[in-house]
Structure 1
Amino acid sequence: MTESMPRPLVILDVQDAIDQPVWAAKNNPDYLENIVRLLSHWRQMDWPVLHVKHDEANPASTYAASGPWNGIKAEVAPIGGETIIVKTQNCAFIGTELDRELKALGVNRFILTGVVIHNSIDATVRAGRALGYTIDLPLDATTAVPVTGLNGQVWEAQTVFDVTAAILASEYVLPCTVDELLADRTD
């Protein structure tokens, strides 16, 4: 890499909220284990890790700022020196310090993991690309849930995931796997 720092690992919305019934029927059941694998490696290498936490204003949301499931999941909880960025929108760049933090690290490329690919991941990827970032998206370190259309049609989580991944890979992200990132020694 030509940058002065390794690519930061950004972990998005991996909070206790994602385990509530409204988020059931996720595809990719190993997504959290894969995020933990990346996080462990980044910590071992002492590379930058940024946690993005969603504080939803809607009290009915599982991600409600004052709700019982708002905490970052224990498996990926921040440790000393890791940055925590709080967002209130689906996009991690809107109204947050994410852009400033990445610029302070001197990078224009980062790795994005978290939930869910067709919501906050998608919104963050699109804004990040518009800001000029190159984004690596390990597809096995994210997930989707079923989506119900306006006419009542239900698209299963895997279909939602596959379509969203294809759209993002067409021009917004560099799709990859956790194993590929762990094998890449160019960081």
Structure 2
Amino acid sequence: MTRALLVIDMQQGFDDLAFWGATTNPDCEENVAALIEHWRRTGEPVVVVRHDSVSPGSPLHPSSPGNALVAAVAAAEADVLVTKQVNSAFYGEPDLHAWLGERGIQEVVVCGIQTNMCVETTARMAGNLGYDTTVVLDATRTFDLDEEVAGVGRVTRTAADLMAGTALVLQGGGFARVVRTADLV
């Protein structure tokens, strides 16, 4: 057993599109569920990560109903639940790197929300820590971004563009392989 599935921030609060904005990839949750089911059949560990926002107004704050995991993930009986307050699952409790190391796990497969935020940050750190890292792109999703950026001006990207950009950077930069759910299940 040298491979683990990392399910990042599959929380009900991400369904609050009034807060987050437009999204893409409506099949994300179904694909995550398929990956979890496959991992359970193979007896490989499933790590569920939950973002506990420190911002009281966030749908992901522990006092918000949106902090809860989506049904498919809540029912998954994770081998471990990692809670975090930042982008990377490697900065959570319990210590993910130590947990993986104690089990001799050398490969991680990453899925969840948001593609270009917590999924990407966790995948980059996994690669930097020496894990053989795979990101299942169609088992992730994100949201449109529109921000004023110093020195650049107003920058707008659709969720689909952000997903494609993340896939390009992760794979092209050597951080992770990018695959589809069907490639693994």
**TM-score after normalising by structure 2:** 0.90
Q: How does 1:6-85 map to 2 (within 5 A)?
A: 6-21=2-17, 22-80=19-77, 82-85=79-82
One-letter amino acid of the counterpart of residue 90, structure 1:
N
Contact 2:108 2:126 in 1 (8 A): no
Q: How does 1:83-122 map to 2 (within 5 A)?
A: 83-96=80-93, 97-122=95-120
Aligned length: 178
Report sequence identity in percent: 30
Distance change (3 Å), C-alpha of 1:11 and 1:53: same
Q: Which runs of 4+ in 1 moved over 6 A?
A: none
Distance change (3 Å), C-alpha of 1:109 and 1:33: same
Contact 1:78 1:84 in 2 (8 A): no
Encode CA deviations 1:72-99: one digit per residue, 9 max, x unaligned.
1111115446211111111111143111
1:130 to 122, 128, 131: 128
One-letter amino acid of the counterpart of residue 53, structure 2:
E
Instruction: Say which SS state the counterpart of residue 107 (structure 1) adopts.
Output: coil
Unmatched segments (≥5 aa) in structure 2: none
One-letter amino acid of the counterpart of residue 107, structure 2:
R
Instruction: Say which SS state the counterpart of residue 8 (structure 1) adopts.
Output: strand
Unmatched segments (≥5 aa) in structure 1: 183-187
Distance change (3 Å), C-alpha of 1:75 and 1:24: farther
Partner of 2:175 in structure 1? 172
What displacement does 1:102 show? 0.9
1:154 to 147, 153, 156: 156
What displacement does 1:113 show? 0.6
Structure (1 or 2) with the greater strand fraction: 2
Distance change (3 Å), C-alpha of 1:158 and 1:85: same
**TM-score after normalising by structure 1:** 0.89
- Larger mean Cα displacement after TM superposition, 168-177 or 90-99: 90-99
Cα distance in structure 2, aligned partners of 1:42 and 1:181: 10
Distance change (3 Å), C-alpha of 1:29 and 1:166: same
Distance change (3 Å), C-alpha of 1:168 and 1:52: same
Distance change (3 Å), C-alpha of 1:68 and 1:102: same
Cα distance in structure 2, aligned partners of 1:136 and 1:80: 22
